[in-house]
Amino acid sequence: MEGGNAAYAGGRRGSPVFPREYQAETLFQIDIAFKMRWQFSAGGRGRGGAGAAEGEGLLQSRHILLDFAAEQEHARRIRIITQSEIMSRKPIIAANWKMNMGPAEAREYLAGFRKELAAFDGSHVEKVLVPPFVTIPAVMDALGGCSCVGVGAQNCSDRDNGAYTGEVSTAMLAELGVRYVVLGHSERRRYYGETDSFINGKIKKALAAGLTPIHCIGETLEQRDGGQLESVLRTQVTEGLAGLAPEQAASVVIAYEPVWAIGTGRTATARQAQEAHAFVRSVLADSFGRETAEKIRIQYGGSMKPDNALELMAQPDIDGGLIGGAGLKPDSFAAIIRAAC
Ligand code: 13P
């Protein structure tokens, strides 16, 4: 199917080809150069109108026409099931609030966010909020035991307990019901001097406590421009995950966050992000084997927003997002989750 003049082939299986009238209303087109499963339902004018059709199958295509007709009530929708889902990598979208949002603000956020979430079926996506430590209990309270949203921490200690002023242990986080911990964020590397081996120690502590580490990696602009992209990513991945068994590595989430894209409004293009993610997956395969590498989820982070999330999420090796600025507003964070559904 190459854009243009296709017609619906009919039948519930086989290559889908869409009729002209859908193309006329197609708002945009994205390149998807991989094999994917597809599912669609298309109504005529009005819900369940004449000509309603639905189906699913497998296709190999370079171009999929996505119809996001503004008139949602016409129930015309094509849902792309991405490579990640085929590989059983459940998309994971997390909001890293960084040093924003005290308990009171978080309660207000949660009231809005829960309303946003109630408006669509987000069960295909793992949703995570990552507040500052002191805000975690308020977030837990406001979630009222709803496990549909996980809670993460922004850091943890590499020690179990003892005389380590200012540190927070993985056991303390687990006691609060925290399930994830963001480690090795570029801001911690840059402002607090965290090294790959230090981060490795924390990743091991997190795993031992049953927490899911979100291991952040990413190059600076100078490194990218200087041709060091691959060597930087390889070092951060291999040293950060050194000593892990493949089963442990499979439960880690990697967040590829190019430093030059964080908080700058300058997102990596979908192609740049996909290339980096595919490279990271190849490094994971070198370390832990192809099968394990295919299970590891790799999030993209860096100025991810409602208007670029869909294109990023459509890439075969992008399995989610680690969101900064756009995660501070319930409506924009929910819109990103929606794009991943
Ligand atoms: P922005 O989405 O604000 O660029 O931040 C990304 C990030 O650092 C998430 O950890």
pLDDT at 303: 94
Single out the catalytic residue among 257, 277, 294, 311: 257
What confidence category does residue 61 fall into, taking pLDDT thresholds of 50, 70 and 90? Answer: very low
Spell out where the chain has E strands.
Answer: 28-42, 53-66, 77-81, 92-96, 126-130, 149-153, 180-183, 212-217, 253-256, 297-300, 320-323
Single out the catalytic residue among 116, 185, 194, 219: 185
Instruction: State yes or no: is 185 an active-site residue.
Output: yes
How far away, in angstroms, is 100 Cα from ligand 1 center? 12
What confidence category does residue 264 fall into, taking pLDDT thresholds of 50, 70 and 90? Answer: confident
pLDDT in tens, 70-119: 333 333 344 444 555 556 789 999 999 999 999 999 999 999 999 999 99
Closest atom, ligand 1, to C-alpha of 304: 2
How far away, in angstroms, is 63 Cα from ligand 1 center? 30
Closest atom, ligand 1, to C-alpha of 325: 3
| Stated pTM of the model | 0.79
pLDDT at 146: 85
**Separation of alpha carbons 25 and 30, rounded Å:** 15
pLDDT in tens, 152-193: 999 999 999 999 999 999 999 999 999 999 999 999 999 999
How far away, in angstroms, is 324 Cα from ligand 1 center? 3
| pLDDT: which is higher, 160 or 315 | 160
Tokens of 228: 């060091």
Whether 229 has a pLDDT exceeding 90, the answer reads yes
Closest atom, ligand 1, to C-alpha of 327: 2
Type of residue numbered 56: E
How far away, in angstroms, is 208 Cα from ligand 1 center? 27
Instruction: State yes or no: is 257 an active-site residue.
Output: yes
What confidence category does residue 4 fall into, taking pLDDT thresholds of 50, 70 and 90? Answer: very low
How far away, in angstroms, is 315 Cα from ligand 1 center? 19
| pLDDT: which is higher, 65 or 214 | 214
**Where does ligand 1 bind, in terms of residues with CB under 6 Å?**
96, 185, 257, 262-263, 301-304, 322-326
pLDDT at 87: 60
In testing the pocket of ligand 1, which one of 304, 332, 336 has its CB within 8 Å of the most ligand atoms?
304
| pLDDT: which is higher, 184 or 23 | 184
How far away, in angstroms, is 183 Cα from ligand 1 center? 14
In testing the pocket of ligand 1, which one of 180, 257, 300, 336 has its CB within 8 Å of the most ligand atoms?
257
DSSP codes, 211-264: -EEEEEE---HHHHHTT-HHHHHHHHHHHHTTT--HHHHHH-EEEE--GGGTTS
**Separation of alpha carbons 132 and 328, rounded Å:** 12
Whether 37 has a pLDDT exceeding 80, the answer reads no
Would you give the distance in Å from CA 136 to the centre of its chain?
21
Q: Atom 2 (ligand 1): residue with closest C-alpha? A: 324
The SS3 assignment for 341 reads coil
Sign of the four-CA dihedral 47, 52, 56, 60: negative
pLDDT at 26: 35
Q: Atom 7 (ligand 1): residue with closest C-alpha? A: 324
**In sequence order, which residues have a C-beta less than 8 Å from that of residue 290 and are 6 or more positions away?**
none
